[in-house]
């Protein structure tokens, strides 16, 4: 949700800002803008639409400047337009602000500032902050920002510059990510690490309510009372190339192809030379597990779908009762949470506002909070008591793929670990399962190699406006993920139905030519799925089925069949979902959709 880049140094700031914003465009692409110091003034350029428009503008009319801030926007307050784009300024353009997040009390502030004579030009909540800073400014912009923090309510990350103090960029954050990149004779602010990786690997991960002041020569961090704080430097070990397209047409395709490697890395939690699971920073003991009478898994979107499979695994292997909740529901439904509760939050970005709120609610009620996240240093990482990292590497495409499969591998590790600790799983059972899990990278690679076949399905059916995914047991959860992936990037309406539920309503939607994706990977439910396939075909559906190779009977019932290798039922979701990811990808490209930047969406949902 919105990307921020700030630069102060010796380089042309527009080059650094535009290159940083390119890396952050996944966070929002409704508009882009920047502000740069030039000749003792601040020049602002901002345009509705993709970053490319700003880029072209700067190419044709360069700004000579070595300090500035930039922004790529996902609209919250006010439609995407030039005027609502960031940066926003006070009336004489001496104070300039870019913002990620939401100012909850902006209406009240806008009314008060209007009464005091301030004129607003946009519909955004951010403009309020520019005028508020103007009202508070008495010759010290740091002081004005500090005062502003006690007035604004909401979640935010800001970068602020002031014409009268041309030697500093100020950053603040609360519940929205902001990091500082430390260079030699230059410093950076950004919403996410990839934006600054071409220049430095030394990063400071800002905490809530801190104020950071970046000058050319250094970075100073203050707490909200104005006391200076020590800077703990985080050295980024992953490569800038990891966050580049690397020859693939889209990030999503690249990330699908990276899945065997992500799985392989995450499997290290279950080392082959030991008969135990080693979860690093997860310190939950056997005694803890005996105390918990309830496990909640909370997450949003794709991570929620991983949680549904997590519930199945933890209940099966650790015999603990698990509830899975959508974080935005959990936080508002007064759940029963106490010291005997373990809450597991799953989040790729580690910055999802609802997931964080759910974690805080649980913590405030005495629960132990564990997180599964892909981003070291993210808010989820910092606020959880126990953390397990999915080792997927940076995920850039809005549609989550490699994060999902590594979340699943992590959930196998967690459930098997809990099972071993509790004694509900024997060492031999564990070793047998682990052996199977280690085949997953190969199974997934074989599916990726069938890419062209999947593309043909998409070519043939690309004009469909509706699609249905049906499955039973674990397959029904994979259907939910496949359906989400398809709708978010191809805009085809789709629904996932537990196949046993068809007769209770959804089958009414099936008519001649309806495309139905049927997942039939669960051996003990196979016969039942065959009946469900017959039922939808009898009503005219065209069925594409996915099944284990040994269940050949399926070829007689379905119009087309794709196979996964023979493997235990419990691990089929990982290879199966890869088929569905590729299917969604090809439907989207065949329909000419912008795969990596689907409409209305952004990566990392830092607002409610």
Query: To the nearest whole angstrom, how small is the minimum distance from the Cβ of residue 580 to ligand F6R?
Result: 12
Write down the least CB distance from residue 480 to ligand F6R, Å.
11
- Residue 352 CB, nearest approach to ligand F6R (Å): 3
Q: Where are the beta strands (DSSP E) in 265-349?
A: 294-299, 322-326, 341-347
User: In whole angstroms, how close is the CB of 587 to ligand F6R at the nearest point?
Assistant: 14
Cα gap 127→158, rounded to integer Å: 12
CB 387 within 8 A of CB 213: no
Beta carbon nearer to ligand F6R, 410 or 522: 410
Q: How far apart are the first and last CA of the chain?
A: 11
Of 148 and 458, nearer to ligand F6R (C-beta) is: 458
CB 501 within 8 A of CB 527: no
User: Could you give phi then psi for residue 423, rounded to 5 degrees?
Assistant: 85, 15
Nearer to ligand F6R, 182 or 303 (CB): 303
| Residues making contact with ligand F6R (CB under 6 A) | 300-303, 347-349, 352, 355, 399-400, 484, 488, 604-605
Which residues, at least 6 apart from 547, have a Cβ–Cβ distance to it below 8 Å? 519, 520, 521, 526, 554, 561, 562, 563, 564
Strand partners, 471: 498
Is 603 tagged catalytic?
yes
Locate all alpha helices (DSSP H) within 462-495, ordered by sequence: 474-490
Q: Which of 23, 46, 174, 603 is catalytic?
A: 603
- CB nearer to ligand F6R: pick between 89 and 259: 259
Chain position whose Cβ is nearest to ligand F6R: 301
Q: Please list, residue by residue across 415-448, b when 16 or more beta carbons sit within 10 angstroms of its beta carbon and e when fewer do.
A: bbbbbbbeebbeeeebeebbeebeebbebbbebb
In the complex, least distance from residue 392 CB atom to ligand F6R, rounded to whole angstroms: 11
Cβ–Cβ < 8 Å for 477, 311 = no
Supply the minimum distance, in Å, between the C-beta of residue 584 and ligand F6R.
9
195 phi, psi to nearest 5 deg: -65, -30
Q: Residue 169: phi, psi to the nearest 5?
A: -120, 135
| 162 in active site | no
Q: How far is the CB of 577 from ligand F6R (least distance, A)?
A: 11
Active-site pick, 2, 13, 214, 300 = 2
Sorted by sequence, the CB contacts under 8 Å of residue 281 that are 6+ apart come out as 386, 387, 388
- Quote the CA–CA distance of 150 and 226 in Å, as a whole number: 13
Catalytic residue numbers read 2, 603
């Amino acid at each position: 949700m919105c990307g921020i880049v700030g630069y102060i140094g010796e380089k042309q700031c527009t080059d650094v800002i535009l290159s940083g914003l390119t890396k952050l465009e996944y966070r929002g692409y409704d508009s882009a803008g920047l502000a740069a110091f030039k000749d003792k003034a601040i020049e602002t350029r901002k345009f509705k639409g993709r970053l490319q428009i700003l880029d072209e503008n700067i190419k044709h009319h360069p700004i000579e400047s070595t300090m500035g801030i930039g922004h790529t926007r996902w609209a919250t307050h006010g439609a995407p337009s030039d005027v609502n784009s960031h940066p926003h300024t006070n009336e004489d353009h001496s104070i300039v602000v870019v913002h990620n997040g939401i100012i909850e009390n902006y209406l009240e502030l806008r009314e008060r500032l209007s009464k005091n004579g301030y004129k607003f030009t946009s519909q955004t909540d951010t403009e309020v902050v520019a005028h508020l800073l103007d009202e508070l400014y008495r010759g010290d912009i740091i002081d004005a920002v500090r005062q502003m923090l006690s007035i604004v309510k909401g979640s935010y990350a800001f970068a602020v510059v002031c014409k009268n103090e041309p030697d500093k960029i100020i950053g603040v954050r609360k519940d929205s990510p902001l990091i500082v990149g430390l260079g030699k004779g230059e410093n950076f602010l950004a919403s996410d690490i990839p934006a600054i990786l071409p220049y430095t690997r030394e990063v400071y991960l800002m905490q809530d309510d801190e104020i950071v002041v970046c000058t050319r020569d250094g970075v100073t961090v203050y707490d909200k009372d104005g006391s200076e704080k020590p800077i703990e430097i985080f050295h980024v070990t992953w490569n800038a190339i990891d966050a580049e397209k690397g020859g693939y047409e889209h990030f999503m395709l690249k990330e699908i192809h990276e899945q065997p490697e992500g799985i392989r890395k995450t499997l290290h939690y279950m080392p082959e030379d030991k008969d135990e699971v080693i979860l690093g920073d997860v310190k939950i003991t056997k005694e803890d597990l005996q105390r918990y009478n309830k496990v909640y898994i909370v997450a949003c979107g794709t991570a929620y779908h991983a949680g549904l499979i997590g519930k199945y695994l933890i209940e099966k292997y650790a015999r603990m009762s698990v509830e899975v909740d959508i974080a935005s529901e959990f936080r508002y439904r007064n759940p029963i949470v106490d010291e005997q509760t373990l809450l597991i939050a799953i989040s790729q970005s580690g910055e999802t506002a609802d997931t964080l709120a759910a974690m805080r609610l649980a913590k405030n009620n005495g629960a132990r909070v564990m997180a599964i996240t892909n981003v070291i240093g993210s808010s989820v990482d910092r606020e959880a008591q126990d953390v397990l990292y999915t080792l997927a590497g940076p995920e850039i495409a809005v549609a989550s793929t490699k994060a999902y499969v590594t979340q699943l591998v992590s959930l196998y590790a967690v459930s098997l670990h809990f099972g071993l600790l509790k004694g509900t799983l024997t060492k031999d059972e564990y070793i047998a399962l682990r052996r199977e899990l280690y085949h997953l990278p190969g199974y997934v690679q074989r599916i990726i190699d069938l890419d062209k076949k999947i593309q043909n399905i998409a070519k043939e059916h690309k004009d469909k406006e509706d699609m249905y995914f049906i499955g039973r047991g674990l397959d029904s959860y994979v259907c939910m993920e496949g359906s989400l992936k398809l709708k978010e990037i191809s805009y085809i309406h789709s629904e996932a139905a537990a196949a046993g539920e068809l007769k209770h309503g959804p089958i009414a939607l099936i008519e001649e030519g309806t495309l139905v994706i049927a997942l039939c990977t669960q051996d003990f439910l196979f016969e039942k799925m065959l009946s469900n396939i017959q039922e939808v075909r009898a009503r005219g559906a065209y069925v594409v089925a996915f099944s284990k190779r040994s269940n050949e009977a399926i070829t007689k019932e379905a119009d087309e069949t794709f196979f996964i290798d023979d493997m235990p039922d419990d691990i089929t979701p990982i290879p199966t979902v890869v088929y569905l990811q590729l299917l969604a990808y090809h439907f989207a490209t065949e329909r000419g959709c912008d795969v990596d930047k689907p409409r209305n969406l952004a990566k990392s949902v830092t607002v409610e």
